[in-house]
Structure formats: C-alpha cells, structure tokens
Homo-oligomer: A and B are copies of this chain.
Amino acid sequence: MITIKDVARNSGVSIKTVSRVVNNQAEVSPETRQKVQQTISQLGYQPNMTARNLVIGQSNTVGVIIPNSADYVFLHPFFNEVLRGIAEVLSENHFNLLLHLAHDDAPYARLYSQRKVDGLILMSIPIGDPNIQGLEESGAPCVCTCRISETNNSTNWVDADFAGGVEQAMEHLISLGHRRIALLAGTMNLVSVRLRVLGYQNALRKHGLPVEDGYILEGEFTSESGHVLAAKAMKHPNPPSALICGDDMMAFGAIQALKELGYGVPEDVSVIGFDDISLARFSSPPLTTIRQDTYQKGRMAAESLLAFMRDKHNAPPQQILLDTFLITRNSSAPAKN
C-alpha cells in the first residue's frame, strides 16, 4: 500500500506538504504542488480514509436504518425510491451511505457511538422501539422518515401528509356518493397508520357521517393482509361500498379478494390505494390511489440531516410535511344506490 510517506519521500518534501496538496490547501508553491501531484498519480496514491477520519473525528458516513423484523418494510416497493433519494443526496455531498438492518439485539445507536456514522436516517420506526432511548442519549443527529410519536416535536422528521391524503380519498369517495367507507389500515404501532385513521375520522366528522363500528381494520402492508381484511370487511352486517387501503399492496390483495367473492370493482365496491407505486396502473382495474413522492421524501430526509449535522447547535428540529395527490384511475366509481 502506498502511503503519504512514500509520496513525500518520492517527491522530496515532507508529509505535511503532501497532505496540503491532497487537501487542496493554499500555502503550497505551484512548482511543489505540481511535483507532488505528479508523484501521486505516478504511484497511484490514494489517501487512507480511516486514518483521515480518525484525526478529523468524523466518518463522513450516514447510517440508514431499516427495520428487518417487519420484512415488508424492506421489501416494500416504495422503499427503494426513498433509498434512492437518500443515496443521491448523500453522494452529491460526498457522504457515504451505511445501510443497516435493525434487529432487536443490535442497538443502532452504537453506529454513532462507535464512530461508524456521523448521523442517522430512520425509516418507519415503530412506536415504542426500545432503541430510541439509547439513540437520544447518544446524541446522534437523526432524521426520521416518520414521526416517532404523534405529538413529538423534538425530533427531525419528514413525513408524507398521511392524514391529509386519506382525507382527500374520503372527499373523492363521498363526492361519488359513497357513505359506507371502510379503512384497511396498517399496523397501529406506526404513527403513519394512526395518522391515516385520523384523516379518516376527520373526513367523517366534517361530513357528519357516523363512525361505523368495525369499519377500521388493522393489518399489515402486504397484499395477503389486504386480501384477508377485505374479506372481513365485506362480512360486516352493513358492508361498505368503498375501501381505502393503507397502501397499494393491500389494495391489490383487496381487489383480488373482492373479485373472488363476486364483487365487481369498481361497479360494486370502490377501492383506493396509497403510495402510487409504479405498478398501480397495471392492476386490473388500474388503481385509484393517493400518490406520495417517496423519492422526494428520501431527498428531503437526507438534506435535512446534513443541514442539521452542519449546524447542530443552532438548528431547531426540522419537521417537514410533504403533499399527497389523489390519482384517479378506474378502481373508484360512483356508489351504486
């Protein structure tokens, strides 16, 4: 391995001068600079970042935490769009991206305490995650792509407007004449899911509609879960004429279940998804859904973290709410009666 010493010896200067050239610092004469640069490319020298990081006391790396206990998060189609947004921003800012699966037994705060990363982006952390406390104690700069609790405003977070999105879907359905609308929600230990419920309730209240018992069904963000919950919803004594699903995967499963039960979509039952993943328009019928800009979400999360890291003392926690958009396709139609 070629080190800075080799370069120094070969170009007849001190290691400090080589360091100055490598880091593009001013106080080097043009001749010396050129001589050193020539030696560097001749020897193929590359600075050892580990040594550099040790001295400057940071790693130029950001950790991205993904819960692996809930497999669907990692495998969910929206996940790589967020990740891509994050990766691009980090790359533009010459930061590395350390991808880390959260297990229960490996507290991710260690990534910071052990100086592997300078900050963390947390994706879809469930409420009550035991690692959160250790994380706060460690003092790691941190941004969540979800709120950690509904009321929390001491953390940085970037969220889609889940409540607003569901409200949009409700407005759409209500304007089509639907009055019996069920919500196939995700796991209630996610704030994003609780916010969907909030939006659902807000819309009902606004239009003076009753909150029917058994119209809010809890499940997971998978097609299987959507399948199960849709079947369950239709067994309700007063079955709904429309379903709003926690995400598009659930919606796909729900549509399949409805078809199996002999319901036409959207003739008998309207179905609305959430996310607008790239396949939403290939389902049958093409899916009406609430679009969230997941790529942008990733970019914002990374930018917010970098800004916070640069200016830890003065920066107040940033809380960013991203707009959602109703994409009307063919899975929603006027209510029958």
Number of copies: 2
B115 touches A88 (CB 8 A): no
A4 vs chain B, min Cβ distance (A): 13
A223 touches B75 (CB 8 A): no
Asked whether A84 and B80 contact (CB < 8 A) given A97-B100, A103-B91, the answer is: no
A54 vs chain B, min Cβ distance (A): 5
Residues of B within 8 A of A256 (CB): 282
Question: Which residue of chain B lies nearest to A287 when distances are taken between CB atoms in the complex?
Answer: B282
Determine the distance from Cα of A22 to Cα of B114 in the docked complex, in whole angstroms: 13
Residues of B within 8 A of A282 (CB): 223, 252-253, 255-256, 279, 283
Point out residues on A near B: beta carbons under 8 Å.
44, 46-51, 53-54, 59, 61, 64, 68, 74-77, 79-81, 83-84, 87-88, 91, 96-101, 103, 106, 110, 113-116, 223, 249, 252-253, 255-256, 278-279, 282-284
Most central of A46, A110, A279 by chain B CB within 10 Å: A279
A138 vs chain B, min Cβ distance (A): 9
A178 vs chain B, min Cβ distance (A): 24
Determine the distance from Cα of A44 to Cα of B44 in the docked complex, in whole angstroms: 41
B101 touches A98 (CB 8 A): no
B84 touches A46 (CB 8 A): no
Contact of A80 among B47, B48, B79, B253 (CB under 8 A): B79
Question: Which residue of chain B lies nearest to A110 when distances are taken between CB atoms in the complex?
Answer: B46
B96 touches A97 (CB 8 A): no
B100 touches A99 (CB 8 A): no
A88 touches B101 (CB 8 A): yes
Determine the distance from Cα of A87 to Cα of B201 in the docked complex, in whole angstroms: 39
Contact of A49 among B46, B81, B100, B114 (CB under 8 A): B114
A295 vs chain B, min Cβ distance (A): 9
Question: Which residue of chain B lies nearest to A84 when distances are taken between CB atoms in the complex?
Answer: B74
A285 vs chain B, min Cβ distance (A): 8
Determine the distance from Cα of A44 to Cα of B133 in the docked complex, in whole angstroms: 14
A254 vs chain B, min Cβ distance (A): 11
A174 vs chain B, min Cβ distance (A): 27
A305 vs chain B, min Cβ distance (A): 16
Residues of B within 8 A of A74 (CB): 80, 83-84, 87
Asked whether A99 and B99 contact (CB < 8 A) given A74-B80, A283-B284, A284-B283, the answer is: yes
24 A-B pairs within 8 Å (CB atoms) are namely: A44-B113, A46-B110, A46-B114, A47-B114, A48-B114, A48-B115, A49-B116, A51-B54, A61-B98, A74-B84, A75-B278, A80-B80, A87-B101, A91-B100, A91-B101, A91-B103, A91-B106, A96-B100, A255-B282, A256-B282, A279-B279, A279-B282, A283-B283, A284-B284
A87 touches B114 (CB 8 A): no
A95 vs chain B, min Cβ distance (A): 11
Determine the distance from Cα of A115 to Cα of B1 in the docked complex, in whole angstroms: 10
Asked whether A75 and B68 contact (CB < 8 A) given A98-B96, A115-B48, A116-B49, the answer is: no
Residues of B within 8 A of A278 (CB): 75, 223, 249
Residues of B within 8 A of A110 (CB): 46
